[in-house]
Chain A
Amino acid sequence: MSGDGSLEWLRREGRIVVVGASLAGLRAAETLREKGFAGSLTMIGDEPYEPYDRPPLSKQVLLGVATADGTALPRRRALDATWRLGVAATGLDMAAGRVRLADGDEVPYDRLLIATGVRARPWPRPEEAELDGVFVLRTRDDSTALARRLAEGPKRVFVIGAGFTGSEIASACRERGLAVTVAERAAAPLVGALGGVVGAVAAELQREHGVDLRCGVMVTALEGDAAGRVRAAHLSDGATIETDVVVVSLGATRNTEWLAGSGLGAGPRGIACDAGCRAFDIRGIVTDDIYVAGDVARSPHPLFGYQFLSLEHWGNAVSQAEIAAHNMLSESADRIPHMWVPAFWSSQFGVNIKSVGVPSMGTEIVVAQGSLTDRRFVGVYGYQGRVIGAVAFDHARWLPFYQELIETTAPFPPPFPMVDRRPDGQRPMDADFPDPSVPTHGPTVTLSGYSPADRRMTFTPAH
């Protein structure tokens, strides 16, 4: 497709369809226009709303200091797009180049970007999930409904799952003065993403803020009253928690069902794509006209042994969207790889938590700065003698340094003196991640599969 003018034609009058009208979809569309795409642009989204920002939904909105309808994403530029909002995509015909919609319409494309993201994993028993007072939290509507219920002053909120979202919900509830019980299957909150050493700090933090935290337990049943309102939760240790609001926070499911049978390499783990965001078909052949970005994508990362990473991170969605858009409009020699170093943040119980790299690949951790007892520290994760990730509690300003260590595969533990490195910070500990074969709510970084190549490469950021 190079040299024959087809790219010129695409830029001038081609048809680009973006399925998924959230952060990744919007930023990709804006990048397309910025790079001079003058053809037709169609944005398809199953929610009736224009693109909005999700991080505030589990924080400011639940605190009542912002409303869910006030989180629309700022626009970088005018899009001149056709918006098909409130209509889900239900199928893909790769051969004909068409997306089928729930209302029966078909939208033809010359290039397709899939950014359908993830949705909250529901409570597995539908009859219990439908009880009044049982919530999940992912969308603007979810957040509005939960915030309204919290404002009514429930007697107790019960959160299932102490991952980042569950912990943030518990934090918001405590800040509103509501009684909260959190049930977590693992030994501590956040262990899937950050391991047991840091999880223990998170557990202390929750308890100190008055959360009734129950770890190492499963929820066996949710019980409703005669009117169909939830009234209690039963735990595997025999305990019963009386509650009138339950928030199910068990991680996310990737929105790929609509691609079943399409021939695209899509499944429960996401849509496999190359480092240039081009989707693989089920034969493992990379497509030329279908691109993927955001939470739904899985792509190989040279820095992490070419494992396919899928990252539910805000910054990743933006970066991947921009690269997908760039590559869509570029000759193969001008394409750029998506080599974003994973990073995410959370804010809970007055603490800013931020991480870079892939902590969950780490086997050891060392507290390089500050101290766990103060709950202000940088924890550095090691994997096979190199630095693979870092997490900061109220210490985020140092993280660019650790990102450089990760990018340059620096030795672990870091051998040099640093400001505020304590005697304890010389000694690596077992990072204490749970056995990956035991299911949990899921970390925010998942690793799955390997590429055939196993070369080491020197990774240098685009300075």
Chain B
Amino acid sequence: MTRSLLHEILDYANRADPYPLYEELRKTPVHHVDDGAYVVSTYYEIRSLLHDPRISSEARHLASTAHDPLAAAAQEEDGVLPPSFLRLDPPEHDRLRRMTNRPFGPPHSPHRVDGMREELHGIVSDLIDGIGDPGRIDLVDQFSYPFPVTVICRLLGVPREDEARFHSWADTIAASLDPDPDADPAERGKEAHEARMQLGMYLAGLIEQRRKNPRDDMLSALATAEGPDGAMATMELLSTAALLLIAGHETTVNLVTNGMLTLLRNPDVLRRLRADPRLAVPVVEELLRFEPPVQLLPQRTPLADIEVRGVTIPKGASLWLVLASGNRDPQRFENPDRFDPDRRDIQHLGFGSGIHSCFGAPLARLEAQLALSELARRLDNPRLLQDPPPYRQNAVLRGPRHLPIACDGIRP
């Protein structure tokens, strides 16, 4: 019974609207899937586990998962690169994240993200200008996908002409994050392995160039760092760069697409946003609660037996935290299934929480705010051509694969 509920959530047929299933899931805040993963779906329990130092993010602490196809499918590391800080515990996690943050955010680089505001605006404007026939737009292919790829490439310093190759590598690797029980893990693992290899080789070459001729980009800063932690080893830098590339666009594409979809389903909010672009800030926060780009975290494990709501989760078990369900927990949020940007109390789990909370959050917020306010302002009378739209396979990084929309014209 419990097994079938989790399978239903992972079942592609339910991708467009998993929320009724999450509601069902919350009736048992800690689900034990037959000898497999423990799935936690309620807000307070998830938040508490995200701050619990007995929970590890390292794959090596997982007990053998050979008999559990769901947990096995959730593994994405395959030994090409050392684990990124996403899959490391302190102190290694802290050291790498600290070094990566140095050229990215406060206190050492407080202006990096804000300084990209104009550049982001330019990218958004160009993409909207380039929309051809307003009667048939695929918002994903024509806007949501190219936008964050361009942003992350410029942030890191990846040349534009190489971006197309990134699309394909990143797509393959992100798909391997999807714990879809029906796919052939061996075949997908092989493809992901290949993509990681090529991405790694490409980046190694780029890092080498930036070491010799540093520019004002993150890759140069990371490659030439002389902070108190010393320089990053080349393999660490490769893992980190790959992490930033993938995390930087596979998530934002969903945030922007989910955002436009939600606005089109809530025309009154869309109207308000068009009249007042400042509404973009609360709109994006509510989106992160309502339709979070990362639906669940399938990669944690306890270092000791821990008790959560009367259930003992044993050491080494695979622990899944369903952020998207916590965000709809009526114990925490009033009318959780209502999209309401006027909500005042909105401490969502959209970016996770604790030491692994989203590294790129400030950039993602700015990207989504700019994208949605400009789309609202410039698309004349936009409407959905297909509801629900076709979704990506991925249940973790959930979002539409295409978003067919139409409008009467593009405003200047």
Contacts and interface: CB of A to CB of B under 8 A. Distances in A.
A282 B171 CA distance: 72
Most chain A C-beta atoms within 10 Å of own C-beta, residue among B47, B90, B331: B90
Nearest to B356: A397
B183 to A, nearest CB: 32
A71 B56 CA distance: 41
B54 A398 contact: no
A331 interface: no
19 contacts: A369-B53, A370-B90, A376-B91, A378-B53, A397-B354, A397-B355, A398-B51, A398-B354, A401-B51, A404-B48, A416-B54, A417-B303, A417-B304, A418-B54, A418-B303, A419-B53, A419-B303, A420-B89, A420-B90
Contacts of B64: none
Contacts of B353: 397
A420 B48 contact: no
Contacts, number: 54
A63 to B, nearest CB: 12
Contacts of B55: 419
B91 A374 contact: yes
Interface residues of B, number: 22
A455 interface: no
B357 interface: yes
B202 interface: no
B44 A400 contact: no
A419 B51 contact: no
Most chain B C-beta atoms within 10 Å of own C-beta, residue among A369, A378, A404, A416: A416
B52 interface: yes
- For the complex of A and B, the 8 pairs showing the least CB-CB separation, nearest first, are A418-B53, A420-B90, A419-B89, A400-B51, A416-B304, A401-B51, A417-B303, A397-B355
A374 to B, nearest CB: 7
Interface in B304-334: 304, 306, 331
Interface string A363-386: 000001110001010100000000
Contact of B90 (A369, A401, A417, A463): A369
| Secondary structure class of chain B's binding surface, majority of residues | loop
A463 B331 CA distance: 8
Contacts of A421: 53
Contacts of A369: 53, 90
A401 B89 contact: no
Contact of A420 (B53, B107, B304, B331): B53
B90 A397 contact: no
A212 B369 CA distance: 48
B27 to A, nearest CB: 17
Nearest to B315: A417
A370 B94 CA distance: 10
A400 B52 CA distance: 8
Nearest to A401: B51
Interface in A370-415: 370, 374, 376, 378, 397-401, 404
Most chain B C-beta atoms within 10 Å of own C-beta, residue among A369, A404, A419: A419
Contacts of A417: 54, 303-304
Contact of A463 (B44, B53, B107, B304): B44
Contacts of B107: 350
Given A398-B355, A401-B48, A463-B44, A376 B94 contact: yes
Nearest to B228: A350
Contact of B53 (A350, A368, A374, A376): A368
B48 A400 contact: yes
Interface in B91-118: 91, 94, 107
A370 B91 contact: yes
Most chain A C-beta atoms within 10 Å of own C-beta, residue among B44, B94, B306: B94
Contacts of B51: 397-401
Contacts of A376: 91, 94
Nearest to B56: A419
A376 B98 CA distance: 12
Contacts of A400: 47-48, 51, 354
Interface string B39-60: 0000010011001111110000
Interface string B330-357: 0100000000000000000000011101
Nearest to A422: B91
Contacts of A418: 53-54, 303
A401 B353 CA distance: 12
A147 B42 CA distance: 49
Interface string B365-378: 00000000000000
B159 to A, nearest CB: 36
Contacts of A370: 90-91
Contacts of A404: 48
Interface string A12-53: 000000000000000000000000000000000000000000
A419 B92 CA distance: 11
A399 B53 CA distance: 10
B306 to A, nearest CB: 8
A97 B272 CA distance: 48
A409 to B, nearest CB: 16
Contacts of B48: 400-401, 404
B241 to A, nearest CB: 24
Given A376-B94, A420-B89, A463-B331, A401 B304 contact: no
Nearest to B304: A416
B254 to A, nearest CB: 25
A374 B91 CA distance: 10
